[in-house]
């Protein structure tokens, strides 16, 4: 039996979709744990690109069972659209291979209206405007609507009415807020598709493990966006570390064999928040162009910076990562010198290689760098400079780099 976890160790956009797709070669079941359509996992196979927002990345493999865990928040209309897009792109039997936890919560138009109102303020966090945060708030306040209600119309109407009343003061303008009847009409065709796919995700994982199948638990976003341990308040609204993944899938830690942490060879961030190794000027812009650093969900440009070993060691500790997958090493070919942050200079002048416990200090630290000569594709993966860099990252984090990714296509990946 093998139950593995794959999750991001930075601020998201590490290339998790590609690595999860690669690891799914030997997986029978892939389970998405948490988050919603704020995730954008991109997979490229033989030149064809698939962008996933809700459905687990294993769906591109034709025989893989894909489960959506109870920790997720799901836009029912968005799920139907995503399935239709995958089917149109030639992915077979999507609904047949999909299982959905009925305890996952619904994102409704009202949640998006609340988020739009908040993000119009000067102190905006920089969210994806998909209603993720307000939906998790509704869940925590016990006003939320689990997907299970799609099978119970009378209770659904009652809970829709209650939720609208709860959110109404937070939405504006009132004239554009959908009525309960309008939302109910949107949900009707969704119920017909989603309810037959309800499953006990915990039991499926347990049964698959007993049958000696391989299961992959899929994280979304990145560990530095964790609601508790990330750069609060510039975080997502769910737990993105290992504990959150286990909770969102509904299983305990005793089943897990390996935890793969996905790391970009440099660092990016979307939206607002502290970013110690951010590169201002032409070098950062060149990395963004070479890496096609635009959000798969929003299309927003990503901020680019050097690899931060201090933050990476911290997220390895948070997640219990046992192996790393290093992605986009090819992008760093566009620069002559590659830098790596190995310590921070704190505002009082002291130097530390320990990530600060106070998230507000991070915006005032100064990174201390080591520099490496870059590598060139003409030398291929045998380039000594590349391996010197990869070995340095493994040594500094005391974590083996098991997978190396050097391009967007599935074929551009090797076991190391």
Distance CA 224, CA 400 (A): 21
Q: Which residues pair with 301 in a beta bridge?
A: 294
Per the annotation, the verdict on 41 as an active-site residue is yes
Q: Is 391 exposed, middle or buried (0-12, 13-18, 19+ CB in 10 A)?
A: exposed
Among the listed residues 21, 28, 41, 226, the single catalytic one is 41
Instruction: Tell me the CA distances in angstroms from 387 to 97, 233, 308, 373, 416, one per residue in order.
Output: 40, 37, 18, 11, 11
10 Å Cβ neighbour count for 349?
7
Instruction: Tell me the CA distances in angstroms from 279 to 8, 134, 337, one per residue in order.
Output: 21, 32, 13
210, 203, 208, 212: which is closest to 249 by C-alpha?
Answer: 203
Instruction: Tell me the CA distances in angstroms from 236 to 29, 200, 231, one per residue in order.
Output: 26, 26, 10
Structure tokens at 60: 């591109």
Q: Which residues contact 395 (CB under 8 A, 6 or more apart)?
A: none
Note whether 355 and 313 are within 8 A (CB): yes
356, 341, 344, 352: which is closest to 393 by C-alpha?
Answer: 341
The helix (H) or strand (E) run that includes residue 387 is helix 384-397
Terminal CA-to-CA distance of the chain, rounded, Å?
Answer: 23
Report, as residue numbers or ranges, the catalytic residues: 13, 41
């Amino acid at each position: 039996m093998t139950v593995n976890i794959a999750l991001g160790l930075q601020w998201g956009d590490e290339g998790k979709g590609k690595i999860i797709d690669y690891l799914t070669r030997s997986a029978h079941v892939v389970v998405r744990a948490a988050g919603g359509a704020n995730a954008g996992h991109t997979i490229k196979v033989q030149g064809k690109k698939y962008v996933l927002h809700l459905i687990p990345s294993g769906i591109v493999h034709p025989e893989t069972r894909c489960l959506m865990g109870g920790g997720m928040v799901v836009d029912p209309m968005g799920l139907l659209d995503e399935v239709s897009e995958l089917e149109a792109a030639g992915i077979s039997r999507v609904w047949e291979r999909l299982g959905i936890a009925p305890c996952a919560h619904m994102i409704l138009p009202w949640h998006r209206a609340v988020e739009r109102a908040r993000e119009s303020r000067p102190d905006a966090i920089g969210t994806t405007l998909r209603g993720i945060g307000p939906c998790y708030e509704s869940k925590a306040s016990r006003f939320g609507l689990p997907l299970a209600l799609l099978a119970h119309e009378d209770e659904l109407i009652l809970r829709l009415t209650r939720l609208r009343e709860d959110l109404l003061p937070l939405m504006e303008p009132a004239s554009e807020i959908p009525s309960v009847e309008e939302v109910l009409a949107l949900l009707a065709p969704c119920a017909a598709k989603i309810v037959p796919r309800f499953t006990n995700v915990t039991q499926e994982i347990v049964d698959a493990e007993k049958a000696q199948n391989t299961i992959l638990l899929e994280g979304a976003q990145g560990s530095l966006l964790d609601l508790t341990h990330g750069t609060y308040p510039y975080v997502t609204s769910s737990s993105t570390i290992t504990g959150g993944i286990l909770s969102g899938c509904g299983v305990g830690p005793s089943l897990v064999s390996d935890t793969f942490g996905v790391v970009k060879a440099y660092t990016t961030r979307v939206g607002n928040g502290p970013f110690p190794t951010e590169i201002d000027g032409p070098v950062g812009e060149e990395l963004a162009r070479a890496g096609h650093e635009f959000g798969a969900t929003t299309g927003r440009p990503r901020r680019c910076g050097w690899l931060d070993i201090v933050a990476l060691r911290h997220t390895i500790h948070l997640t219990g990562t046992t192996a790393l997958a290093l992605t986009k090493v090819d992008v760093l070919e566009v620069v002559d010198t590659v830098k790596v942050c190995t310590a921070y200079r704190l505002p009082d002048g002291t130097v530390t290689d320990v990530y600060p416990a106070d998230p507000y200090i991070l915006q005032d630290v100064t990174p201390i760098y080591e520099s490496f000569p870059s590598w060139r594709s003409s030398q291929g993966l045998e380039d000594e400079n590349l391996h010197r860099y990869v070995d340095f990252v493994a040594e500094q984090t005391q974590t083996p780099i098991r997978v190396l990714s050097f391009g967007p296509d599935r074929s551009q990946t090797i076991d190391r």
